[in-house]
Amino acid sequence: MSYFTKALELESQGTPFVVVTMLAARGHAPQDPGAKALVSARGLEYGTVGGGKVEAKAIALVGELLSTPVLDESQRVFRVTWNLQHDVGMTCGGEVEFLFEVSHVAKWRIVVFGAGHIAQALVPLLGTLDCHVTCVDPREDWLDRLPPVSSRLSKRVAPDMPALVGTAQLPSSAFYVLMTQGHAFDLPILTKILGGFLPPYVGVIGSKVKALKIRNELKAAGIAPERIEALKCPMGLALGANDPSEIAISIAAQLLAERARVFGETKWERE
Would you list the domain boundaries of the chain?
A: 3-103, 109-270
Q: Is pLDDT above 50 for 268?
A: no
Average pLDDT value for residue range 242-259: 94
Query: What is the average pLDDT value for the chain, to the nearest integer?
Result: 88
Query: Which DSSP helix (H) or strand (E) runs through 25?
Result: strand 17-27
Q: Is pLDDT above 90 for 30?
A: no
State the pLDDT at residue 270: 42
State the pLDDT at residue 118: 95
CATH code of the domain made up of 109-270: 3.40.50.720
The percent of residues above 70 in pLDDT, for the chain, comes to 93
Looking at per-residue pLDDT, the higher value among 269 and 130 belongs to 130
Long-range pairs for 153-160: beta carbons < 8 A, 24 or more residues apart:
153/14, 153/123, 153/127, 154/13, 154/14, 154/15, 155/115
123: Cβ contacts below 8 Å, ≥ 6 apart: 112, 115, 133, 135, 146, 147, 153
Residues 265, 182 contacting (CB under 8 angstroms): no
Residues 131, 111 contacting (CB under 8 angstroms): no
Please give the full DSSP string across 132-190, using - where no structure is assigned: EEEEEES-HHHHHTSPPPBTTEEEEE-SSGGGGTTSSSS-TTSEEEE--SSHHHHHHHH
Q: Is pLDDT above 70 for 266?
A: no
**Residue 271 pLDDT level (bands cut at 50, 70, 90):** very low
Please give the model's pTM, rounded to 2 decimal places: 0.67
Looking at per-residue pLDDT, the higher value among 73 and 53 belongs to 53
8-12, 73-77, 82-86, 137-141 — which one is most confidently predicted on average? 137-141
Residues 206, 187 contacting (CB under 8 angstroms): no
Q: Is pLDDT above 50 for 158?
A: yes
State the pLDDT at residue 269: 47
E strands present in 41-163: 43-47, 77-83, 94-103, 109-113, 132-137, 153-157
**Residue 105 pLDDT level (bands cut at 50, 70, 90):** low
